[in-house]
Amino acid sequence: MKQIQSHKAKNLLIPSPACAIIEIARVLHPQYKTRGIMLMAKLKTYRGHIRNHKALCQELGIAQGLSRQEREEKILLEGYKKWGEELGNHIYGMFALAIEDGEKIFCLRDQFGTKPFYYHIGEDGTFHCGTFIKDILDKGVKKELNEDMLQLFLTLTYPAGEDTFFKGIKKLMPGHTLTYENGKVDIKTYFKPEFKADRTKTLDEYADKIHSTLLEIMQDVKDEDEVAESFLSGGVDSSYVFALSDAKLSDSCGYDEERFDESPLAKQTADILGRENSRALITPEAYFSAIPYVMKNMEQPLADASAIVFALGCIETSKHTKLCYSGEGADEFFGGYNMYRNAERYGDNLKTFYVGNTNIMKEDEKKLLLKNYKEDLLPIDLVKDLYQDLEGLDPLTKMSAVDINIWLEGDIYLNVDKMSTCTGLEIRMPLTDVRMFSIAASMPPEYKVNDTDNKVAFRKAAAKVLPEEIAYRKKLGFIVPIRIWMADERYNKDVKETLFGKTAEKFFNTQYLKDMFNEYIGGNSDLWRKIYTVYAFLVWYREYFEN
């Protein structure tokens, strides 16, 4: 959906008799003050999709037949009028928004952070916010690098936490509200992922609940007059969504390098389901050419190599549809990552090192690489408070909770939102839903991961509509041949020039960086992620501060 334009609240001049009437009404009806303010409320900014709009329209008395933009604007304003700061607890879907309520600005981000939201408070108290960082920079806010984020980025490969790579520009975290009034900001939590295992239900009962709930969500995920396609890899998540959808065409990415290419598995799934499949061939030339475009539109650096492939896939898909389903969320909710099998072995030691799905560089290595290393700036500090909240829970749940709070928001959803938006494609993720999470949050860990499988209950649910060879196919991940492409002289010219250029000298000890690159070129392909992480940051920096 297009960004709804900002509206500045106007001061209403009320004649004296009217003021008297209002004062009497306020005494007789304590809620009148809120309702009076609501007369001036405007939707300042919003991006998202409200899934349970039918139920909300009925509850809020909103007429049928409105356009989606009109309908959702009315839902948000009428919902705010009725529920105030509890609005987020009544919405299923994806949303980030700000409502201008007289002198107050109320901001809200969805439960898992599928849509981003940023804000800035100037020294003079001026408040700016938006679902894009450029919304704030366009207001004249000074563009200045927050170099502390680089040190964290070299470990995590994505912008995690409340801070951004721009000094003074903050991120409203998932499940939070922000109220700005009289020069002050008040941030509150309205949703926090909480876990409590319920062992009164059997594995079959959990699988049934997953299936019936996803069927319910699929009824909400689009309007009857909308036509959607579906992203499809070789994995169970996207296959399950595709199978339950009414999409006739699936969209996949593939490579000439067969050992990295999942697209034949996607085509096989589509054939079994009697649907069509479209394959976008990702070449190394297209991949490296797209990196600056991706970093510019991502707004912050992201060293997830699959983001470039995803962007190219979005570009191709947008040529024949403007709406597509995707399967994000199931791995973190239902125990999909292979490393989760190590949870019991890690035990209580998790809180000393586990900061999420990626951990690329250790502190000793960053000390050697960075020119401005800070001893007290550690990635683990991002999740210390979270580990305190998780005290007493099993190790698998702790790992899952960290990934839901940090990794999903900072990497996966950032990528999906930014790359789909810049290519004119809208992506909806049925598996990312409070209703799906509530099932996962009550499941015992053994129904998520066991000695031989992951996503145990989820796969059992998917097997209701998929052949077992698809439902129980081992997780492959979104594999990218970057480890071999980046070492190839035919493709890595810009990589070398960037790593060994003047910009790199501002931040890195270039001799150490050169030694690392030479070792990688010499055959140590395991170093590719470290090389790519540095390169991604430098390309992003070039796009924002040098071009």
Q: Superfamily for 203-359+393-473? A: HUPs (3.40.50.620)
Closest CA to 326 of 437, 235, 399: 235
Amino acid at 54: K
* Tens-place pLDDT, residues 324-373: 999 999 999 999 998 999 999 999 999 999 999 899 999 999 999 999 99
Boundaries of CATH 3.60.20.10 in the chain? 16-117+172-189
Tell me the C-alpha distance between 317 and 335, whole Å: 29
The answer to whether residue 1 scores a pLDDT higher than 80 is: no
Question: Residues 105-120: what's their mean pLDDT?
Answer: 98
* Tens-place pLDDT, residues 27-48: 333 333 443 444 579 999 999 9
Q: What percent of the chain has pLDDT over 90?
A: 88
Closest CA to 233 of 261, 212, 205, 214: 261
DSSP letters of 49-112? EETTHHHHHHHHTPPSS--HHHHHHHHHHHHHHHHGGGGGGG--EEEEEEEEETTEEEEEE-TT
Tell me the C-alpha distance between 32 and 38, whole Å: 10
Amino acid at 167: K
Strand partners, 229: 324
Other Cβ atoms closer than 10 A to 424: 11
**CATH topology assigned to domain 16-117+172-189:** Glutamine Phosphoribosylpyrophosphate, subunit 1, domain 1 (3.60.20)
- Integer-rounded Cα Rg, in Å, for the chain is 24
What does each C-alpha distance from 356 to 283, 475, 530 come to in angstroms?
A: 30, 18, 17
Q: Are 283 and 256 in contact (CB under 8 A)?
A: yes
The answer to whether residue 415 scores a pLDDT higher than 80 is: yes
* Tens-place pLDDT, residues 44-91: 999 999 999 999 999 999 998 899 999 999 999 999 999 999 999 999
User: Where are the extended beta strands (E) located within 287-444?
Assistant: 323-325, 426-428
Please tell me the predicted confidence (pLDDT) of residue 478: 60
Please tell me the predicted confidence (pLDDT) of residue 114: 98
| Residue 384, both tokens | 């210390």
The answer to whether residue 4 scores a pLDDT higher than 70 is: no
Mean predicted lDDT score pLDDT of the chain: 92
Tell me the C-alpha distance between 15 and 82, whole Å: 27
Identify the burial level of 65 via C-beta atoms within 10 angstroms of its C-beta, where 0-12 means exposed, 13-18 middle and 19 or more buried: exposed
Q: Which of 10-19, 264-273, 477-486 has the highest mean pLDDT?
A: 264-273
Please tell me the predicted confidence (pLDDT) of residue 40: 77
Q: Are 476 and 235 in contact (CB under 8 A)?
A: yes
Q: What percent of the chain has pLDDT over 70?
A: 92
Boundaries of CATH 3.40.50.620 in the chain? 203-359+393-473
Q: How far apart are the first and last CA of the chain?
A: 29
The answer to whether residue 7 scores a pLDDT higher than 90 is: no
